[in-house]
Structure 1
Amino acid sequence: MRIKAETSTLLIIDIQARLFPVIQDSAALAENALWLQQVAQRIGVPVLLTEQYSKGLGQTIPSLRDGHPASAIIEKLHFSAVSEGELFKRAGGERAQFVVCGSEAHVCVLQTVLDLLAEGRQVFVVAEAVGSRQASDKALALARMQQAGASIVSREMVAFEWLEQAGNPLFREVSKTFIR
């Protein structure tokens, strides 16, 4: 199955100020998540962000949070973004496919992905845009998500599948700006 721009949503999970510094390769995680977010916005794919107990962990880092309306940000206490029922009520939450990135891969990302799959959604986890404090936890989480039915993808795989074809103004714009 391919990722379609018209049926997918980008879900950015818990890339928050107080947790961010302890995530392994956090700068790369933020850069890759921002790249995905900007491509999604350029193509017209909805973007939703979650924040795990923002009183304790802070808000989503500014580079990802800025410019999003409050309706695109889901505050949660459960590790899974699905558990509290808010995800599917938001614009974009009704879509069949979710492209997922964020932290921590072995906690909130994993539990959200497992619950999305249980709800019958198609899930694509962007390998270079998920992170954990420990590399071994990230590796185990990616393996478990794949075993459960999620597709593990790269950010460029997502972009090219969203674009579908070359030779049009949108492809030229995204290619020139994001794909080097």
Structure 2
Amino acid sequence: MSAEVISDLKVDRADAVLLIVDVQERLASAMDPTLGTRAILNLVRLGAARTLLGLPVIITEQYPKGLGPTVADVRSAYGDVPAHEKVCFEAVADHPIAAALWDTGRRTVLLTGMETHICVFQTARALCAEGFRVHVLEDAVASRTRDNWEVGLSLCAKAGAVRTSTEVVLFDMIGKAGSDDFRAISKIVK
């Protein structure tokens, strides 16, 4: 494995941004129950860790008039973060969202949301094409069916994204045990 590939696997908290794609009321209620519940739980965990980690957050909503707002638990975990309305499946095709991402100055995107095989995949593909390091958090994305979730994850990886999980990312960003950060993250994931 090359040094470049290995460095792409590392999540540096000073270079990471969390992108939450379309975790909305009507969409979330249509997800595979296990995948949807798990995704929301892990998004809440990430919300609890974001200030500690200095993690900027971008939230998108696909056509909120039809799909509703971001689900209440996620809105609560990210209360001060505004949602960017979009109509394109590829989140960064909408200029304000792309601008918000570029404005962070960060090049590692922690990609989460719904649905894995549509908006998450198309966003991962676009971000990888733009040279971002994309980490798709498997336990923080969901689809209506498990088959589509698996296909979406596979396509994200083929596009160049790293398949990972919430705990992998959180512990990678803190890097060691015995610190206040470690104790705080350990409480969040329990």
TM range (shorter): over 0.9
Name the counterpart of 2:150. 139
Deviations 1:5-44 (A, max 9, x none): 1100111110101111110122222112211222223321
Q: In structure 2, what is the equivalent of residue 48 of structure 1?
A: 58
How many aligned residue pairs are there? 178
2:103 corresponds to 1:103: no
SS at match of 1:82: helix
Pairing of 1:107-126 with structure 2 (within 5 A): 107-126=118-137
**Could you tell me which of 9, 17, 23 is aligned with 2:17?**
9
**Residues 136-177 of structure 1 deviation map (CA, whole Å, 9 limit, x = unaligned):** 1110110111111100001111001111222222222222x1
Q: How far apart are residue 52 of structure 1 and its match?
A: 0.2
Q: Please, what is the CA RMSD of the aligned residues?
A: 1.6
Q: Is the 8 A contact 2:171 2:185 kept in 1?
A: no
Whether contact under 8 Å (1:104, 1:133) holds in the other structure is: yes
Percent sequence identity is 33
Structure 2 distance, partners of 1:143, 1:151, is 10
- The residue identity in structure 2 corresponding to 1:128 is D
Task: Report which stretch shifted further, 89-98 or 154-163.
Answer: 89-98
Task: Output the amino acid matched with 1:123.
Answer: V
Query: Relative to 1, partners in 2 of residues 1:84 and 1:29: Cα closer, same or farther, differing over 3 Å?
Result: same
Quote the Cα distance in structure 1 between the aligned partners of 2:170 and 2:13: 9
Structure 2 unaligned residues grouped into runs of 5+: 1-6
**Preserved CA contact (<8 Å) 1:100 1:123:** yes
Q: Deviations over 1:104-159 (max 9, x none)?
A: 00111011111111111000001111111011111011011111110000111100
8 Å CA contact 2:16, 2:109 repeated in 1: yes
Tell me how far apart the structure 2 counterparts of residues 97 and 68 of structure 1 sit (CA, whole Å). 23
Counterpart among 61, 75, 83 of residue 65 in structure 1: 75
For the structure 1 residues 137 and 93, does the alpha-carbon distance in structure 2 shift closer, same or farther, using more than 3 Å as the test? farther
Structure 1: unaligned runs, 5 residues or longer? none
Normalised by the size of structure 1, how large is the TM-score? 0.92
Does the 8 A contact of 1:124 with 1:150 survive in 2?
yes
Name the CA distance, whole Å, in 2 between partners of 1:160 and 1:134: 29
1:58 aligned partner, one-letter code:
G
Give SS of 2:137's match: strand
Q: Any conservation in 1 of the 2:21–2:119 contact (CA below 8 Å)? A: yes
Higher percent of residues as helix: 2
The alignment partner of 2:154 has SS state of helix
